[in-house]
Amino acid sequence: MTSLAVVTMLVICGTVWGGFAALVVRAVRRESAKVRDRGSRLPPSGPAPEQG
Amino acid sequence: MSAQEHFSSRWGLILATLGMAVGTGNIWRFPRVAATHGGGSFLVAWLVFLLLWSVPLMVVEFAFGKRARRGVMGAFHDLAGPRWTWMGGWVALCATFIMFYYSVVAGWCLRYLWASLTGELTRRGSAEVWSGYAESPAAVVTHVLAMALAAAVVWFGVRGIERVAKVLIPTLFVLVVILAVRAVTLPGAEAGLNFLFTPDWAMLKNPEVWLQALTQNAWDTGAGWGLILTYAIYMRVREDVSLNAFLIGFGNNSVSLLAGIMVLCTVFALNPSASQEIVGANNEGLTFIWMPQLFAAMPAGGFFMTLFFLALSFAALTSQISLLELATRVLIDLGVRRHLALLLAAGTGVVFGTFSALYMPVFRNQDWVWGVGLILSGLFFSVAALRFGLGRLRREVINAEGCDLAVGPGWSLLVGFLIPLEAIVLMIWWLYQAHGWDPQGWLDPFGSETAGTVLAQWALGLLGLVVLNQRLARGLKRSCAEEMP
């Protein structure tokens, strides 16, 4: 392969595949943070208060 | 919409939407267009328009679906105003007509998957299989089969779509990676990589390269088709918009890039002397005649040929499912029950698609008319977003609760100014291209690929929608009122 083709391949593939991978990682992190956030808003677990 | 109709997770939504975006265009069109328009230079322009066309429009679509929770026509009615329902009707019309003939393409893929599995392609030769199959009753049978498979998935609503996407899309990614690795490791494959990645910077001064790159983005990412909007109806309430749009855009183009490497390395490694002829062939010629011949010439070729047509079938079916869901959803919004709406959409698709299955000029005509029509759909999305208010859409939907990636005023500039400009230039350019193909008959309304046929069919569609606008708006309003508790 010519060096120009190698450089272009690295730049293009790096941007597209690297960009996609980075976006997936960001989405995974944000989803985990949302799950943690929802968990911390739940009332503390324990026996339900007796009725009546 | 019933309360429980939602994707179970963000990943369900992303996989289903990726299934919509990744279609046969990624595998059979992108490698050809990239190779014949400057290789590396085309890829630069293609990346630029991913950010200047596809992603901003995907953000609009996700935002419309999330806000309106109705199909394309209902969303345009609710967000742009009842007087603009016809624009949503146009987006629905375009995608529905594509669904009619795309089912034929999905049928071709299934037929070739069967022929590669049974060894028929190697035994009889791909050219003979194609000449005996294309435009024959067998093509109608596979078209009906593809429509039936898509309908069977849509029958179960969003749960069915999500379950199928969760299996088919990861498998499709794995298949394309396996095929790309196999192609790259063939002796002589580096000639294909050189061809794809060597930039010809002078080509960047050629407007055609930019227009082809924009077209490729408009046609293979699914932005502006109304399909993302349709899936976004089923988003969870606190779901992100813009990060998801970037994910779909980059995910789709990642598959295109892998497909480009796979196809061009295979071509240059196995038949370098005919490489120019192969990449210059049309979509069907490359995929259904040349690729099987090339696979037959490689070690374990039958196995890799089967993987190739399996990947192509998965890509086609997941896109067909989204097209069928769009048409079904529009009918649901007009008050038809889901299963009846699905049967109506699929039944009409079977009837209209049969003409494309039996006559290639009809197929090419429909591909041409509604392919260019999609660019007008993109323009209509911009207009509807402007009507709703770009700042309001950003504030109330895109950057609202659940947002993982806020968009700034630059997005408003893209949607409000640049995308309409791109759409207008692109439509004029494609119609002008038709003049170059046939200077005498380019305005013939009965030609297969003329500007005249585009304008005539568009005029009929637009006129019908404008005339019916009030009635459609009333139907949407009534069905919305009936859903209220």
pLDDT at B337 over 50: yes
Tell whether pTM > 0.90: yes
Q: What mean pLDDT do residues B379-407 have? A: 95
Confidence at A47, pLDDT banded by 50, 70, 90: low
**pLDDT for B424:** 97
The separation between CA B481 and the C-alpha centre of its own chain, rounded to angstroms, equals 33
Q: For residue B6, what pLDDT is reported?
A: 93
Spatial CA neighbour of B134 closest among B465, B370, B360: B360
pLDDT of B18: 96
SS (H, E, C) chain B: CCCCCCCCCHHHHHHHHHHHHCCHHHHHHHHHHHHHCCEHHHHHHHHHHHHHHHHHHHHHHHHHHHHHCCCHHHHHHHHCCHHHHHHHHHHHHHHHHHHHHHHHHHHHHHHHHHHHHCCHHHHHCHHHHHHHHCCCHHHHHHHHHHHHHHHHHHHCHHHHHHHHHHHHHHHHHHHHHHHHHHHHCCCCCHHHHHHHHCECHHHHHCHHHHHHHHHHHHHHCCCCCCHHHHHHCCCCCCCCCHHHHHHHHHHHHHHHHHHHHHHHHHHHHHCHHHHHHHHCCCHHHHHHHHHHHHHHCCCCHHHHHHHHHHHHHHHHHHHHHHHHHHHHHHHHHCCCCHHHHHHHHHHHHHHHHHHHHHCHHHHHHHHHHHHHHHHHHHHHHHHHHHHHCHHHHHHHHHCCCCCCCCCCHHHHHHHHHHHHHHHHHHHHHHHHHHHHHCCCCCCCCCCCCCHHHHHHHHHHHHHHHHHCHHHHHHHHHHHHHHHCC
Summarize pLDDT for A13-42 with one digit per residue, the tens.
999 999 999 999 999 999 999 888 877 766
Q: What is the pLDDT of residues B156-182, one digit of tens each?
A: 999 999 999 999 999 999 999 999 999
pLDDT over 70 at B52, yes or no: yes
Distance to chain A for B172, nearest Cα, Å: 16
Distance from CA of A8 to the nearest CA of B (A): 6
Q: Is the pLDDT of residue B204 over 60?
A: yes
Confirm if B108 and B139 have CB atoms less than 8 A apart: yes
Burial (Cβ within 10 Å: 0-12, 13-18, ≥19) of residue A8: buried
pLDDT score, position B272: 87
Neighbouring-strand partners of residue B199: B39
Q: Is the pLDDT of residue B3 over 70?
A: no
Compare all CA atoms of chain B with the CA of A29 and give the residue at the minimum distance: B404
**B4: confidence class by pLDDT, cuts 50, 70, 90:** low
Whole-angstrom Cα Rg for chain A: 23
CA angle, corner B47, sides to B42 and B48, nearest 5? 100
Q: Mean pLDDT across the stretch B403-420?
A: 96
Position B124 scores a pLDDT of 92
A30: which chain B residues are within 8 Å (Cβ-Cβ)?
240, 243, 404
Give the whole-angstrom CA distance, residue B310 versus residue B308.
5
Is there a contact between A13 and B257 if contact means CB atoms under 8 Å apart? Answer: yes
Please report, as a single letter, which amino acid is at residue B410: G
Element (DSSP H or E) covering residue A27:
helix A19-41
Give the dihedral of Cα atoms B359, B356, B296, B294; nearest 10 deg. 90
For residues B444 and B450, is the Cβ–Cβ distance under 8 A?
Answer: yes
| Confidence at B200, pLDDT banded by 50, 70, 90 | confident
What 3-state DSSP class applies to A52? coil
- pLDDT, position B30: 93
The DSSP code for A6 is H
Chain B nearest-CA residue for A23:
B247
pLDDT band at residue B238 using 50, 70 and 90 as cut-offs: confident
Give me the mean pLDDT over the B471-482 stretch: 86
Q: Answer yes or no: are the C-beta atoms of B302 and B219 closer than 8 Å.
A: no
Let me know if B420 is exposed, middle or buried by CB neighbors in 10 A (0-12, 13-18, 19+): middle
Provide the pLDDT confidence category of residue A45 given band limits of 50, 70 and 90: low
**Higher pLDDT among residues B37 and B101, named by residue:** B101
Quote the CA–CA distance of B236 and B439 in Å, as a whole number.
52
| Structure confidence at residue A43 (pLDDT) | 63
Confidence label for B155 from pLDDT (cuts 50, 70 and 90): very high
* B255-283 residue pLDDT tens: 999 999 999 999 999 988 888 888 888 78
Q: In the predicted model, is pLDDT for residue B37 greater than 50?
A: yes
B-proximal residues of A, 1-20, CB under 8 Å? 1-2, 4-6, 8-9, 12-13, 15-17, 19-20
Geometric angle at alpha carbon B477, from B386 and B320, rounded to 5°? 70
Question: What letters, b where the CB count within 10 A reaches 16 and e where it falls short, cover B138-149?
Answer: ebbebbbebbeb
B14 contact A CB<8A: yes
CB contact under 8 A, A24 and B238: no
Among candidate residues B10, B346, B9, the one with its CA nearest the CA of residue B154: B346
Of A2, A15, A31, the CB nearest to B198: A2
User: What's the pLDDT at B1?
Assistant: 47
Query: How would residue B237 be classed by pLDDT, with cut points 50, 70 and 90?
Result: confident
Mean pLDDT, chain B, rounded, equals 94
Q: Alpha-carbon distance B315 to B310, whole Å?
A: 9
Q: Does A52 score more than 50 pLDDT?
A: no
Q: Which residue of B has its CA nearest to A17?
A: B254
Q: Average pLDDT in the A3-20 region?
A: 95
Instruction: Report the alpha-carbon distance of residue B335 to residue B333 in Å, rounded.
Output: 5
Q: What pLDDT score was predicted for residue A51?
A: 46
Asked whether the beta carbons of B18 and B251 are under 8 A apart, the reply is yes
Beta bridge partners of B39: B199
- pLDDT per residue as tens digits for the range B285-322: 889 999 999 999 999 999 999 999 999 999 999 999 99
Residue B483 confidence (pLDDT): 67
CA of A18 vs chain B CAs: smallest distance (Å): 9
CB-based contact (8 Å) between B257 and chain A?
yes
